[in-house]
Amino acid sequence: MSLPKVLGCHLILMLSSFTGAANGYYEYMWSRCIYSNRDFSDMVYIDNYSFNKDVDVQFNSTVGYYVGYTEPGVHYAQLWNNDTIGLQQERAEVERVCKPNAELYYTAHLIGKAVPPKVKLSSVTQAGGRHPAMLMCSAYRFYPRWITVSWMRDGKVVKSDVTSTEEMPNGDWYYQIHSHLEYTPKSGEKISCAVDHAGLTKPIIIDWDPSLPESERNKIAIGASGLVLGIIIAAAGLIYYKKKSSGRILVPS
């Protein structure tokens, strides 16, 4: 799951100045702490400055310095990047602001309230596609909505041929999400789905078993039993009909 799907802390400061109803200017900035793992190891801090609908300059902790996107933004970025003390402070926001606030949020809002997901791994039929098989990993009835669903092949994370839905509300405070993996079956290969969520003490990992599920085996067994029973009833009816027919005496009219 990509980082922007999970929002840890969202701190917004907006400054507006208007010169008139027709000619208005809107300058604003926001700061976000974005993460997807509960240990905050992938925490990213973003400081964004915009004018009207255009982003002027942005600091991203994964980049480590300001980047300008407009002519004024390039100018500001050069000034702020030359300020070594200010730049060091921005780089330290992940540890100083993001992680402590994310921890407080988990403690105050999620502990005791999080509902772990129910996870199901199944094979589905795909409409076209370049791979002969598709697996679907479904997580449902979980709260809060932030969740990580990933695929592994022989213990290694798979990123290609994976499509996932957004976290979708059920309408009853719970959420669901579905992730699909297109693959070409190989002998001895181990494919797994891993789900991590605030309601779990450790990720749920389900290995795909290519053998027929028990429910499908039961359906086949029931169908086969019905077929055999039908054949027996039909055979008995045929025998009864022949015996009855053989006992009749035909009288010419």
Confidence of residue 170 (pLDDT cuts 50, 70, 90): confident
**Both structure tokens of 142:** 């979980």
pLDDT of residue 231: 72
pLDDT of residue 252: 53
Tell me the average pLDDT across 215-220: 48
Q: Does domain 3-110 have CATH number 3.10.320.10?
A: yes
What pTM did the predictor assign? 0.48
pLDDT of residue 2: 34
The pLDDT tens digits for 187-213 are 888 999 999 998 888 999 999 987 755
Identify the sign of the CA torsion 13, 17, 20, 24: negative
Q: Classify strands 65-68 and 162-164 as parallel, antiparallel or unpaired.
A: unpaired
Please name every residue paired with 157 in a beta bridge, in sequence order, or none if there are none: 152
Q: How far apart are CA 162 and CA 149, in angstroms?
A: 10
Closest CA to 75 of 93, 53, 51: 51
Confidence of residue 230 (pLDDT cuts 50, 70, 90): low
Q: In whole numbers, what is the pLDDT of the chain averaged over residues?
A: 79
Closest CA to 208 of 147, 153, 158: 153
133, with CB counted inside 10 A (0-12, 13-18, 19+), is middle
Place of tokens 């900035």: 29
Confidence of residue 250 (pLDDT cuts 50, 70, 90): very low
Would you kindly state where each structural domain of the chain is located, as residue ranges? 3-110, 118-207
Highest mean pLDDT among 71-75, 156-160, 227-231: 71-75
**pLDDT: is 88 or 224 the higher one?**
88
Q: To the nearest 10°, the Cα dihedral for 48, 50, 56, 60?
A: 10
Least confident of 26-40, 85-99, 155-169, 212-226: 212-226
Number of H helices, E strands in the chain: 5, 14
What share of the chain has pLDDT > 70, as a percent?
71
Place of tokens 């389900």: 206
Residue 99 to residues 33, 42, 59, 203, 232, Cα–Cα distance (Å)? 8, 10, 17, 21, 71
Cβ-based neighbour number of residue 16 at 10 Å: 9
Place of tokens 């008995």: 236
Q: How far apart are CA 53 and CA 26, in angstroms?
A: 8
Query: What CATH number matches the domain at 118-207, 3.40.50.150, 3.30.70.20, 3.40.50.1000, 2.60.40.10?
Result: 2.60.40.10
Tell me the average pLDDT across 65-71: 95
The pLDDT tens digits for 113-139 are 889 999 999 988 766 656 678 899 999
pLDDT of residue 244: 64
Q: How far apart are CA 226 and CA 217, in angstroms?
A: 14
Asked if residues 177 and 162 have their Cβ atoms less than 8 Å apart, the reply is: no
Tell me the average pLDDT across 139-154: 91
pLDDT of residue 12: 45
